[in-house]
Amino acid sequence: MLKKARKCFAAVLAVLFVCFTASPALTASAATQTSWNFKDSSFKSLGTIKASTTINGLGLIATSSKKMAVKSNSVTVSGTSYTYCLALSGTGSTSYRAVKVPVSGSDTIKVVLKSSGSSTRNLVVADSNGKKLGTISAKSSASLGTYSYSGSSGYVYLYSENSGINIYKIQVDSSGSSSSGSSSSGSSSSGSSSSGSSSSVSGDIVVKNGGTSLADALKKAKSGQTVVIDGTVKSGAVSLPAGVNLAGKNNATIDFSQTSGSSGRGITISGNGSTLSNITIKNASDNGIFISGSNNTLKYVTCCYNEDAGFQVSNGGANNKFYNCYSHHNADAKGENADGFAVKLHSGEGNYFENCIAEYNSDDGWDCYAAHGAVKLVNCQANYNGYCNGIYGDGNGFKMGGVDNKTPGVAAHLDPLKHELIGCTAKGNYANGFDRNNQSGVVTMKNCTADSNKGKNYNWPLNGTPSALGYKVTFGKAIIQDCTNINGKNNLTGATLVGNCKGF
């Protein structure tokens, strides 16, 4: 079960950001804009959707009997053409024919939509508990509708109240989290919308193709300044100075294909106090993002197609926060190291993940091998890890720790870490969904779901024999509270089931 200890890597989940304004100019603002256009390649190839999936942080909720589809369908709104739509294909609910949209707590949700028939239909906005908050009107001709949300951060659901509606684009303008648990009443309107893609950020130095290089921009930047990535740029490996921020616009992507070898980490963050947002990191010859610093924040960052872990926190990195990050299709040659999120090899305390997703990585979704600090994960997903582009790795969804001391005959250094997972889901991984991996703390899982993992859904044996030690030791236990087991076996000799657990 123990994987070979090697350098690990940090990466960040990002999503696609697309603005409704055509102008490339930015204005200084604390707000952010996140959008999903169904003409983008990650959506338009989906075709008929028969099961729930998440694309770039946007949840698409469907079942085999309540399907949706992404299809070619052209409309124009205020001079902007939209060529693909998500066809809801009928009445929905929070369980089917719905879109699960991340919100921060104070948001304007903008939807380009139309009724698939000749009459006006209502697109329902519901909270995470299924409570109807309001509606957006879908008319017989395409228009832009808006809804003002104020409530808890997390997700809202969009679904048709009365038959088919076509959705072409969804955008969330966020002004920050709200302390209120209430939501505003809904409204609908039509308005202007245009193509383009940006994120409303305050930027001091702009990096774009043909202009200032990323390396040069980071040399010039001082703590508190923001380097704005405009579109796709190529770069060699870079280090982010302490307190310097990175933000993206126009589908910001940093292509690190110029890197080579094990020193080819995309971004190294050894300092403290930086924020990264709205950026995709890809094609690094090692980690996408490697963090040994502390108190850094990553929002809507994607790491993909890197040759080691997408995100890695190691060597004392502590109190780093990850929100709505996405790590997918990272693969190393042997499949042993390219996790989605690696928080291991002497990582520190207080690293936190919320609404993050790890999918299709060659090794594990999350790997906490030899971590020296407890990790908290809230509403995170680890799906279909363990195989990528013909490469197989360990393939656990959430691997929660490991033996540190590997000297035979010497007592193991078993960090008693109290990891916590709340509302997390592990589905279709090639090994175990939730895996103990030889650490001695008590791990708590609440409202988690394991579904159709090829090994065990929940793998928490009480005893084991680490190959590094050669003798049996007793490991930590798990508290599994109000969790769900679907279509899978379990090893629960080291676990205690609490509350309303289902399917065990």
* CA–CA gap between residue 448 and residue 240 (Å, rounded): 35
**Is 56 within 8 Å of 36 (Cβ atoms)?**
yes
pLDDT value of position 467: 55
* CA–CA gap between residue 486 and residue 504 (Å, rounded): 8
All residues at 6 or more sequence positions from 129 whose CB lies less than 8 Å from its CB, including other chains: none
* CA–CA gap between residue 446 and residue 5 (Å, rounded): 29
All residues at 6 or more sequence positions from 65 whose CB lies less than 8 Å from its CB, including other chains: none
pLDDT tens for 299-338 read: 999 999 999 999 999 999 999 999 999 999 999 988 888 9
456, burial (CB in 10 Å: exposed 0-12, middle 13-18, buried 19+): buried
The four Cα atoms 145, 148, 153, 158 give a dihedral, to 10 degrees, of -30
163, burial (CB in 10 Å: exposed 0-12, middle 13-18, buried 19+): middle
Q: Which residues of the chain have pLDDT under 70?
A: 1-31, 175-203, 403-415, 464-474, 476
493, burial (CB in 10 Å: exposed 0-12, middle 13-18, buried 19+): exposed
* CA–CA gap between residue 130 and residue 59 (Å, rounded): 15
**Is 462 within 8 Å of 480 (Cβ atoms)?**
no
* CA–CA gap between residue 115 and residue 123 (Å, rounded): 9
pTM over 0.85: no
pLDDT value of position 470: 59
pLDDT value of position 23: 31
pLDDT value of position 18: 35
pLDDT value of position 366: 97
